[in-house]
């Protein structure tokens, strides 16, 4: 894939998270990326297409990173659920953390018919389903229920962290999660 295309995706992702999607014009994106609008519109038909690709790439990167971390650092399925929050803390406290893209995107496009909103909702569902898979493997009975609860803690933390950097929300989310997970494993 073209290096410029990647650059545009990366710059757009950063600007969208730091300034907001609607507040970031394509002129700004190409200026920061060091290219021109003609090139941007060659790779992305519309700004909406660009937004959708930024979202998709962001979610893929996050999911791959998390899956790899869990795969190479844990063995027992029940261990994965616990370790999950250690890795999320690592993710959140990284200097280039910019929030979870699909959370902010859904807020900027509240209309449920909007393609950007739909993709955001889909990614949120996907993440919960991934958590449910982990819970199921660990032997949790109400895997969907626990997954939903954990997702609330996680997405809440991400949002709190974006609202105020260094909030430490994820630390308390981890504590709460530990309690919920242990109890769910007993039942």
Partner DNA sequence: TATTGTATATACAGACCTGTATACTTTATA
Partner DNA sequence: TATAAAGTATACAGGTCTGTATATACAATA
Among 18, 37, 65, 68, binds DNA (CB under 7 A): 37
DSSP 8-class letter at 76: S
Least Å distance, CB 152 to its own copies, is 3
- Alpha helices (H) in the chain, listed in sequence order: 3-19, 26-33, 37-43, 47-73, 77-93, 101-108, 115-137, 143-163, 169-186
When asked if residue 34 is in the footprint of DNA (CB under 7 A), the reply is: yes
When asked if residue 46 is in the footprint of its own copies (CB under 8 A), the reply is: no
Among 104, 131, 140, 143, binds its own copies (CB under 8 A): 104
Among 10, 14, 32, 48, binds DNA (CB under 7 A): 48
> How far is Cα 139 from Cα 12, in angstroms, rounded to an integer?
41
* Site size with its own copies, rule: CB under 8 A: 44
When asked if residue 47 is in the footprint of DNA (CB under 7 A), the reply is: yes
Q: Give the length of the chain.
A: 187
Cα–chain center distance at 81:
17
Least Å distance, CB 30 to DNA, is 8
Q: Is 34 left (phi over 0), alpha (psi -120 to 50) or beta?
A: left
Nearer to its own copies, 71 or 183 (CB): 183
When asked if residue 98 is in the footprint of DNA (CB under 7 A), the reply is: no
When asked if residue 111 is in the footprint of its own copies (CB under 8 A), the reply is: yes
Among 50, 132, 143, 173, binds its own copies (CB under 8 A): 173
When asked if residue 13 is in the footprint of DNA (CB under 7 A), the reply is: no
Residue 114, C-beta contacts closer than 8 angstroms, at least 6 positions apart: none
Choosing among its own copies, DNA, none, which partner's interface includes residue 112 (Cβ < 5 to 8 Å by kind)?
A: its own copies
Among 26, 32, 180, 185, binds its own copies (CB under 8 A): 180
DSSP 8-class letter at 2: -
What Å distances lie between residue 176 and 13, 77, 124, 151, CA to CA? 31, 19, 21, 12
Q: Would you tell me which residues interact with DNA (CB under 7 A)?
A: 2-4, 23-28, 34-39, 41-42, 45-48
């Amino acid at each position: 894939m073209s290096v410029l295309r990647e650059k545009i995706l990366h710059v757009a992702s950063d600007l969208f998270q730091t300034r907001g999607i609607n507040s970031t014009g394509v002129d700004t994106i190409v200026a920061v990326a060091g290219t021109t609008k003609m090139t941007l519109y060659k790779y992305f038909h519309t700004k909406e297409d660009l937004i959708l690709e930024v979202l998709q790439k962001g979610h893929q990167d996050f999911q791959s990173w998390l899956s790899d971390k869990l795969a190479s650092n844990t063995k027992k399925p029940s261990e994965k659920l616990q370790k999950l929050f250690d890795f999320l803390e690592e993710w959140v406290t990284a200097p280039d953390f910019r929030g979870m893209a699909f959370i902010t995107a859904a807020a900027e496009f509240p209309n449920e018919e909007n393609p950007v909103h739909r993709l955001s909702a889909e990614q949120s569902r996907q993440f919960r389903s991934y958590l449910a898979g982990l819970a199921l493997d660990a032997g949790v009975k109400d895997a969907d229920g626990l997954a939903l609860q954990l997702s609330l803690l996680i997405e809440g933390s991400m949002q709190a962290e974006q609202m105020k950097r260094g909030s430490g929300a994820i630390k308390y989310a981890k504590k709460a999660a530990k309690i919920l997970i242990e109890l769910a494993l007993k039942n």
